[in-house]
Amino acid sequence: MNSPDKDFFPGFIEDDKPPAKATFPAPVPPATPPANEKGFNPFAEETPPAKPSLGPKPLASAPQPKPQPQREANIGAKIMGEMAASSGPDSENEADIKPGQGKDLWTCPHCGAKNKPNRSECRSCGKKPTDPVAKPWYQQPLPLAGIGVGVIVLMIVISMFSGADVSHQTPRVGAIGRSVSYIAGGGQSPVESFTVGGRMSVVGRLIEIKHLDDTTSQLLLALGEQAQSPDKISSIFIDGNTLKIQSQVGSVDIPMARLLCTPRVEEKMSPLSVISVSGVYGHIGTWHSNPEAGLWVLAQPRISSEHP
């Protein structure tokens, strides 16, 4: 009989087998995080943090141009083809006309195009330089006559709407105004070498009549309320080419009209009488009308007077 095991204890049948020794799993080492993953690794070497870069930021790449559609290329080819087709024989013949050759070219009198000396007809209009040149429409006799009629009609319309009355007035004190009524515009001259500027009419007090030469007389008329008042006309006097009236505060200019009449005035008129003058004004020789200055050059004016 074998010697009993010192750990054997009698009991059940199953106790005849010795008990199995307990086994334990092998220890698992701690997992090491991958190098590219963030986390604490007690076995990794400490790496200092990266310093921020102070250099310029990289420029964004420029956008690439979009490829042109095939349709635009086709349109360009079509235009070039039409230009080539439109160049005819005349274009080829004139291709050698270069800058600096103007002295060798002749100008078409009809359209003004330049042509080479060996051409007998204009390359632009097809006419010969010997063909009669047509006048512009505004140089034709009929349009010129129409323009003249239009000017006359315009003068009539202006006179209607301007309100200026250039008709001859009755010479009376109540008709004396402050200025000369006139309408600018041409007309037929009653005197040779006289250029008509328009028509005028005035009623005023005659201050002076003077004959400048054998063909011209000067009439000086006072206008305005001073010329209407019988109490004031005696205080009116001539100062050069102006009229003045003496008042309590001194001399004062008054409205006036200086009329240069041709031919010479032969009517007998008394100073300070009220007269009415009408007719055409303009210029003759060195005498020129100046409405702003009160100077009127008249040709054969109509004059009538009323004694004070």
Answer whether 0.85 is exceeded by the pTM. Answer: no
> Per-domain residue ranges for the chain?
102-133, 135-164, 173-306
- pLDDT at position 218: 92
Bridge partner list, 117:
none
Determine contact, residues 216/230, Cβ cutoff 8 Å.
no
- pLDDT at position 83: 56
- pLDDT at position 244: 85
- pLDDT at position 105: 87
50 alpha-carbon distance from chain centroid: 69
Determine contact, residues 190/302, Cβ cutoff 8 Å.
no
pLDDT profile of the chain (308 residues), mean per 10: 53 54 60 53 56 55 58 61 51 52 78 87 89 75 64 61 78 91 84 90 92 90 87 81 78 89 86 92 91 91 82
Which CATH architecture group holds 173-306?
A: Beta Barrel (2.40)
Bridge partner list, 115:
106
Bridge partner list, 247:
250
